[in-house]
A = this chain, B = another copy of it.
Amino acid sequence: MKKYQLLAEHIQAQIEQGVWRAGDRLPSLREQVAHSGMSFMTVSHAYQTLESQGVIVARPQSGYFVASRPQSERSPTKAIHSGTVDINTYIFDVLQASRDPAIVPFGSAFPDPRLFPLQQLNRSLTRVGRNASAVSLTSNLPPGNEELRQAIARRYAAQGMRISPDEIVITAGALEALNLSLQAVTNPGDWVIVEDPCFYGALQALERLRLRALAIPSDIREGINLQALEQALQTSPVRACWLMTNCQNPMGFTLNQQKKQQLLALLKRYNVTLIEDDVYTDLWSGREKPQPVRAWDDGSSVMHCSSFSKCLVAGFRIGWVAAGVHARRIQELQLMSTLSTSSPMQMALVDYLTTRSYDAHLRRLRRELMERKQQAIEALHRHFPAQVQIHSHDGGFFLWIELPPHLDASALSDAALACGISIAPGKMFTTSQAWHHAFRLNVSWAWSEREEQAVRRLGTLIAQKLEQEC
């Protein structure tokens, strides 16, 4: 590391430790030269670096001052890590539980697999088995099977978006796409914007890649708070922003067009890359499919990540990123970590997409999910105490449930799991304390006596917690 970088790091560390606080005047260049014994060139280079990072600001005639930071700032290595250990443990329990058919999987992130066209997918697998090149690696190396990338590009085109197959990289589900995208545009220690609450995978990725989180509050109806976002961008050197714009996980909202455009304009102004997690978008409702933010970008500012796992087949583990200018870097990172996704899976999807009507399946899927959600909401109203708030949106298959603020949804989750019911408590989705009283409910299941009883049981458990608290 160069001397000026060491000095810059040293000063930044002092600021983080509170040695210098927002608004404080830093030692002048000459004073710093005297302290550090470093040359004037080195010291001024260090100050310029900190200034370019937005850590300090120069004021004519008066010197260098520490920039102010937003309230929401958190050091993830503390805030996130403490949470993440629990999150991993909990994800483990939920996933292990989800293997057990005896557990009612209200905590699952995947829709009822019985809603997927299993027979058609199996026939595609069978056909691929007759294809001589099915097991060959080379034709499916990153960026991935060409026909599959073309099929995905055509689906973008049908939405009026111009995405070239050449910028699409096939990945092991959207999760690998999101992780590679984040890695492609950040270095350890960089600042990244996430939502509060957000998909726990984002928090895990930040911790894994040693990034610093700025959690911006999101509203159950309006989504991310653009004022808080701009304040964060003004005061911190943010590299990337990871969020969901359609059927957000866990809350379920979809940003309106105007807000999506405002979000993009804001991020472009601060030269921040948006990593757009759009895995539930095909579960939209209303007149037409909502556009992702990527629709207004030329590929320089937005990396659009999605998959087939939530709407067609989870077991294939096939997702993608429309990576724009970062497509090459994504491929390099994939070659280093998993090399590529499996050839037969890519080819089976090509077969399905070219011989079946994916859109007809999606129409049936959306209709069925809407009906099931309605049944679930009615059951919740029958069995949940009046103090519980039930938030629902037209798209997707999640309900966001708020208990009275003094109740802990994690405790409810433990009690429910003991009764053979899984839920996804708010703690999984936040680095703050703001959502510990909430939980996410997957309502994609065919409504039977089993689901009815499970909801009744949850209602009883909540009622018991309410009494205990009184």
- Seen from chain A, the residues whose Cβ lies within 8 Å of a Cβ on chain B are 1-3, 6, 9-10, 13, 16-17, 35, 37, 88, 91-92, 95, 98-99, 110, 113, 116, 118, 121-132, 134-141, 172-173, 175-176, 179, 183, 188, 201, 204-205, 208, 210, 309, 313-318, 331-333, 335-345, 348
Contacts and interface: CB of A to CB of B under 8 A. Distances in A.
B88 A138 contact: no
Given A95-B141, A125-B125, A316-B343, 4 more contacts: A2-B17, A129-B129, A140-B315, A172-B338
Given A175-B339, A201-B336, A338-B173, A135 B110 contact: no
A337 B132 contact: no
A333 to B, nearest CB: 8
Nearest to A98: B138
A9 B338 CA distance: 33
A275 to B, nearest CB: 15
Interface centre among A138, A205, A316, A341 (most CB of B within 10 A): A138
A3 B92 CA distance: 35
B316 A338 contact: no
Contacts of A342: 172, 315-318, 341-342, 345
A116 B339 CA distance: 20
Nearest to A139: B99
A335 B317 CA distance: 12
A10 B2 CA distance: 11
Contacts of A337: 175-176, 179, 208, 337
A286 B95 CA distance: 45
Given A6-B10, A125-B344, A344-B315, A88 B335 contact: yes
B131 A95 contact: no
A137 B344 contact: no
Contact of A338 (B6, B134, B176, B345): B176
Contacts of A175: 336-339
Given A118-B132, A134-B122, A138-B98, A317 B339 contact: yes
Given A88-B332, A210-B188, A316-B344, A173 B339 contact: yes
Nearest to A348: B344
Contacts of A131: 122
A95 B188 contact: no
Contact of A91 (B13, B118, B335): B335
26 contacts: A1-B17, A3-B17, A6-B9, A88-B332, A98-B138, A99-B139, A121-B135, A122-B132, A123-B129, A125-B128, A125-B129, A127-B129, A128-B129, A135-B314, A135-B316, A136-B315, A137-B315, A172-B338, A188-B188, A208-B333, A208-B336, A315-B343, A317-B339, A317-B341, A317-B342, A344-B344
Contact of A135 (B99, B315, B341): B315
A140 to B, nearest CB: 7
